[in-house]
Amino acid sequence: MKFFRGLLLALTTLASYAHAETKPATEIGTLAGAAYRIDVPPDWNRRVVVFFHGTSETPLLYTAGEPLSPMFRHILQRKYAVVQSGYSAGGWALEEAEKDTERLRVHFAAGHGKPDQFLVMGMSMGGALVAMTIERHADIYAGALSLCGVLEPSDALFQRDFALAAAFDYYFPGVLPAFVPVPADYVADKRMVAKISAALASKPAAVQALLRWYGTADAKSLPDVVADTLTDFRDLQRRAGGNPLGNADLIYVNSGDDAALNAGVRRYRADAQAAAWLARWYTPSGKLTRPLLAVHDIGDPLVPAAGAFTYALTVQRAGHADNFVQQYVAHEGHCVFTPDEVARAFDQLVDWVDTGKRPLSGRLP
């Protein structure tokens, strides 16, 4: 849920940039239980962008007549078609999303003729799918663009969240429900966020300890981050058939209260089979033989920007460092890119794929 909230925020921001233009041909339908949307410009260049969206508690649906996100405006202006699946399942649906999107890609080629080129692009959880896709299917995709993407191993991301929730529970016992298992009826609604906010306001020193340890959220975003973690835990426990997360062997450091926190925090141990499932979906291999450009907002409280460096090291160890570039924008929030920033990132990827001109790491030009 938390990743999709960020994506919704991004799309809301992007929508203010919409303007009238020649409309592409739009196809909306359902394929093997997954809704999809295909947009093809009238002067299509025979190239396709396959897009992976972030998490949603329920599968996305596409409505006839619904405007396409302005995020894709520049891509269509460059005469690329855009193909996106709503997935047949919600939550951390990497397994379903991979199959649904590949099925849609084949469906597109069958109906429109074999394209000259496929590029893959995704946001948030879609970034994990971008890495998985470009690593596994370099024979199909010529290049990849990840925006605010989960590029570190999935278990590392969620283990950090689990440890944060356990630390919160130490400082504020009784505010959150059980972690293992999370109640089936748990909802990260306004009431839960308000309850967490009130607890945080009662102990400013504990708030600072949590923020120092977590390292990326701020006092304003922390209640939402904590509330949403349990939604993710519930989804992962259901999918994995057990609890894939734990903090039993974690030593908390840099909280400013390390001795007391480590002595008092409740410890949990992951179920081996459930942890193996989460590692499968997904631990990057680093076998990156095609260009991958990643762009992150440095103030992202949900998918910390530092996670992309973990991926950079993975690629480096595999001997493919020349095929990865990480850039950033100086924004606070999750997936808060403007259409112009998306366009500039996309143009760099196209130039890299077509001419071999590798973008420079650092701030998005």
pLDDT score for 20? 41
Helix, strand, coil share of the chain (percent; to 5):
45, 15, 40
117: left (phi > 0), else alpha (psi -120 to 50), else beta? beta
Confidence of residue 15 (pLDDT cuts 50, 70, 90): very low
pLDDT tens, 80-106?
999 999 999 999 999 999 999 999 999
User: Does residue 280 register a pLDDT over 70?
Assistant: yes
Instruction: Give me the residue spans of the domains in the chain.
Output: 2-152+284-363, 154-279
Give the span between the Cα atoms of 147 and 293, in whole angstroms: 9
pLDDT tens, 130-182?
999 999 999 999 999 999 999 999 999 999 999 999 999 999 999 999 999 99
Q: Report the percentage of the chain scoring pLDDT > 90.
A: 92
- Which amino acid is residue 104, in one-letter code? L
- Burial group, residue 317, by CB count within 10 angstroms (0-12, 13-18, 19+): exposed
Confidence of residue 350 (pLDDT cuts 50, 70, 90): very high
If you average pLDDT over residues 230-237, what whole number do you get? 97
Q: In what order do the strands lie in the sheet with 117-123?
A: 25-31, 34-40, 81-85, 47-52, 117-123, 141-147, 292-299, 324-332, 362-363
User: Does residue 107 register a pLDDT over 70?
Assistant: yes
256: left (phi > 0), else alpha (psi -120 to 50), else beta? left
The CATH code for residues 2-152+284-363 is 3.40.50.1820
User: Does residue 6 register a pLDDT over 50?
Assistant: no
Q: Which two tokens stand for residue 93?
A: 């649906």
pLDDT score for 22? 65
Give the span between the Cα atoms of 182 and 228, in whole angstroms: 12
If you average pLDDT over residues 60-73, what whole number do you get? 94
pLDDT score for 24? 87
pLDDT score for 14? 41
Q: For residue 193, give the nearest of 170, 165, 224 by alpha carbon.
A: 224
123: left (phi > 0), else alpha (psi -120 to 50), else beta? beta
Q: Which two tokens stand for residue 252?
A: 């908390």
Backbone φ and ψ of 119, nearest 5°? -115, 150
Give the span between the Cα atoms of 19 and 172, in whole angstroms: 48
Give the span between the Cα atoms of 91 and 238, in whole angstroms: 10
**Cβ contact 331:295 at 8 Å:** no
Residue ranges in the chain assigned as alpha helix (H): 2-15, 73-77, 94-112, 125-136, 154-171, 190-202, 204-214, 222-240, 258-264, 272-280, 307-317, 339-355
Confidence of residue 18 (pLDDT cuts 50, 70, 90): very low
**Cβ contact 245:270 at 8 Å:** yes
Q: Which two tokens stand for residue 212?
A: 């120092």
pLDDT score for 8? 42
User: Does residue 2 register a pLDDT over 90?
Assistant: no
Q: For residue 144, give the nearest of 280, 343, 292 by alpha carbon.
A: 292
Q: Which two tokens stand for residue 249?
A: 């062997």
Q: For residue 145, give the nearest of 167, 162, 130 by alpha carbon.
A: 130
User: Does residue 281 register a pLDDT over 50?
Assistant: yes
